[in-house]
């Protein structure tokens, strides 16, 4: 990858110098990138896959789709959308892509059961077992299920298997049949996403299928594209990307492709450790929402132009992977378990505007708004807003780190922003009083006793990590609730925690 990066940097640097990026037509851009050698072109497309702007095969064939993906990435960086990567933009792209790829532990492995090579997000996989047709790899609770397959051609033709797959996995959102291979993708009857790739090798049909919880799409979208690109129907043959590439005028395949001995064998069968329940501050219930065992969700909000999000520490406790809304995989920078604050960063600069902090603490009786994604396995899958008041300026036992609020919050709200009526951050929603425990002690069920972490603690946390954030003006005018939600909706995202 370093050699590929240097090749691109050298050519881009010579072309651009230190002046502004030239406006170039797509045809000129395609010719420019096509002049790079094949490993550099494939490496560029693979990086675009991992930052989730190029859901296609990394075959080195440069088309307008590749140019558009580059422009999308430049837009994330807040740079001119020229389609021509400057050296610093390329460096950032390679770093962002590596962070996402390494975050899921992606690697190619040889599957001895089928004689194929397949990409695997090993950081998300807990068990591996031989099955009748190949090998099965699963996440701890089955939210991700990967199966390699080998079917004797005498049993059925590729066309027959294509028709059977369409019958057994309706409806298909995408399907393509190309003589000796096919791809089918869509949604299973149970609501899970699936992707199937099968090839006719002459003596057998070989391929793989992956199905996964739709909530994992931000994490697994790039993984599926990488798996499809890297799949080799025969371990000693070419990958899908290599077989579709144009080799004319390029270095020999033997010199440009990695040796097969670098491939690692499939991991041994192992048992997933039991999931660790998410915690919460003492006396507070309703932390992150367990959609199902092994996957829980909360809320986070954007606080910097560099893609930093704040959430609760208990939302991201013991996660093997973290995803932030539409922006995909995120890195956990630090978690302050004492104050229940965590700092995340997504793999690229996001287009949304960061929320601003209020210049002073709220007062008792002040109106507030809580934004988040509560009860996503029950309620509508989208941003939720509730209104209320500041009930007290301390939490349980007079704990001054918290403020008490009457706005309704539920599991999944944790980590969401608490805003005043000017749309400024005054706290981070952290939970609610444990109604069952209080009822057992007092004989009465508490109503609307919920808590948020003071925004001052969040600001101190950000300063400690050198994060630049915004503080709003003192004299901002009161705004309509609809306007506040509309302005904040892109900055408030669901946080998904995958456990194993």
Which tens digit of pLDDT belongs to each residue from 401-444?
788 999 988 888 999 999 999 999 999 999 866 544 444 444 54
Distance of CA 374 to the CA centre of its chain: 19
Rounded to the nearest 5°, which phi and psi values hold at 102?
Answer: -70, -25
Q: How far apart are CA 495 and CA 288, in angstroms?
A: 9
- Of the candidates 278, 274, 273, the residue with the CA atom closest to the CA atom of residue 313: 278
Distance of CA 156 to the CA centre of its chain: 38
pLDDT at 11 over 50: no
Cβ contact 465:334 at 8 Å: yes
Q: How far apart are CA 28 and CA 22, in angstroms?
A: 11
- Order of strands, sheet of 172-177, starting from the edge strand that comes earlier in the sequence: 127-130, 134-138, 144-152, 204-212, 193-200, 181-187, 172-177
Instruction: Give the mean pLDDT of 142-146.
Output: 89
Sign of CA dihedral 461, 339, 218, 220: positive
Q: How far apart are CA 442 and CA 381, in angstroms?
A: 36
Q: List, for residues 35-53, the tens digit of each pLDDT value.
A: 888 888 999 999 999 988 8
Q: Which two tokens stand for residue 383?
A: 């941003």
DSSP of 99-158: HHHHHTTEEEEEETTTTEEEEEEGGG--EEEE-SSEEEEE-TTSSEEEEEEEEETTT--H
Helices 2-16 and 87-103 meet at what angle, rounded to 10?
160
DSSP bridge partners of 418: 370, 427
- Of 118-127, 178-187, 445-454, the poorest mean pLDDT is in 445-454
pLDDT of residue 194: 94
pLDDT of residue 304: 93
CATH topology of domain 284-498: Thrombin, subunit H (2.40.10)
pLDDT at 17 over 90: no
Higher-confidence residue of 199 and 267: namely 199
Bridging pattern class, strands 356-357 and 470-471: parallel
Q: How far apart are CA 322 and CA 6, in angstroms?
A: 31
Cα angle 396-400-405, degrees, rounded to a multiple of 5: 60
* Tokens 């027959």, residue located: 160
Query: 340 — alpha (psi -120 to 50), left (phi > 0) or beta?
Result: left
Cβ-Cβ contacts under 8 Å for 427 (sequence gap 6 or more): 362, 368, 403, 405, 417, 418, 452, 453, 454, 455
CB count in 10 Å sphere of residue 476: 15
Domain residue limits, the chain: 2-102, 105-265, 284-498
Cβ contact 370:383 at 8 Å: no
* Tokens 């919920």, residue located: 450
Question: Is-same-fold flag (105-265; 284-498)?
Answer: no
Q: How far apart are CA 51 and CA 76, in angstroms?
A: 10
Cβ contact 193:187 at 8 Å: yes
Residue 119 pLDDT level (bands cut at 50, 70, 90): very high
CATH code of 105-265, in short, is 3.40.1000.10
Q: List, for residues 242-282, the tens digit of each pLDDT value.
A: 887 754 433 333 343 344 333 343 333 222 222 222 233 33
- Of 105-114, 142-151, 322-331, the poorest mean pLDDT is in 322-331
Q: How far apart are CA 39 and CA 2, in angstroms?
A: 11
């Amino acid at each position: 990858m370093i050699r590929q990066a240097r090749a691109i940097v050298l050519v881009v640097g010579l072309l651009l110098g230190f002046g502004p990026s030239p406006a170039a037509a797509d045809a000129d851009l395609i010719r420019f990138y096509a002049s790079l050698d094949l490993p550099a072109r494939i490496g560029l497309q693979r990086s675009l896959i991992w930052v989730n702007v190029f859901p296609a095969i990394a075959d080195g064939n440069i088309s307008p789709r590749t140019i558009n993906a580059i422009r999308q990435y430049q837009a994330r960086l807040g740079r001119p959308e020229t389609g021509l990567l400057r050296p610093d933009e390329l460096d950032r792209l390679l770093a962002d892509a590596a962070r996402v790829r390494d975050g899921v532990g992606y690697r190619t492995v040889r599957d001895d059961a089928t004689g194929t090579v397949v990409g695997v997000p090993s950081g998300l996989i807990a068990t591996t077992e031989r099955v009748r047709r190949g090998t099965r790899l699963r996440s701890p609770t089955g939210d991700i299920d990967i199966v390699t397959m080998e079917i004797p051609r005498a049993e059925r033709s590729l066309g027959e298997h294509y028709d059977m797959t369409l019958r057994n996995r309706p409806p298909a959102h995408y399907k393509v049949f190309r003589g000796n291979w096919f791809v089918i993708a869509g949604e299973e009857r149970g609501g899970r996403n699936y992707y199937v790739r099968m090839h006719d090798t002459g003596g057998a049909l070989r391929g793989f299928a992956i199905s996964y919880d739709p909530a994992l799409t931000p994490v697994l979208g790039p993984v599926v594209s990488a798996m499809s690109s890297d799949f080799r129907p025969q371990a000693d043959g070419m990958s899908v990307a290599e077989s579709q590439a144009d080799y004319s005028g390029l270095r020999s395949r033997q010199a440009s492709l990695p040796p097969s001995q670098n491939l690692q064998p499939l991991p041994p069968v192992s048992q997933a450790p039991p999931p660790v329940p998410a915690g919460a501050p003492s006396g507070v219930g309703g932390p992150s929402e367990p959609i199902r065992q092994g996957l829980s969700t909360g809320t986070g909000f954007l606080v910097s132009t560099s893609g930093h999000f704040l959430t609760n520490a208990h939302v991201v406790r013991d996660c093997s992977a973290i995803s932030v809304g539409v922006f995909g995989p995120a890195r956990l920078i630090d978690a302050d378990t004492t104050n229940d604050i965590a700092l995340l960063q997504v793999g690229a600069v996001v287009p949304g505007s960061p929320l601003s902090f209020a210049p002073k603490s709220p007062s008792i009786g002040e109106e507030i708004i809580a934004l988040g994604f509560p009860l996503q396995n029950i309620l509508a899958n989208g941003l939720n807003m509730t209104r209320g008041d500041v009930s007290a300026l301390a939490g349980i036992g007079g704990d001054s780190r918290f403020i008490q609020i009457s706005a309704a919050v539920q599991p999944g709200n944790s980590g969401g922003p608490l805003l005043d009526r000017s749309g400024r951050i005054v706290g981070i929603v952290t939970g609610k009083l444990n109604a069952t425990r209080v009822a057992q002690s007092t004989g009465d069920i508490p109503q609307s006793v919920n808590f948020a972490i003071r925004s001052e603690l969040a600001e101190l946390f950000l300063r400690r990590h050198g994060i630049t954030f915004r503080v709003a003006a003192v004299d901002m005018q009161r705004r309509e609730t609809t306007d506040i939600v509309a302005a904040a909706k892109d900055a408030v995202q669901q946080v998904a925690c995958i456990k194993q």
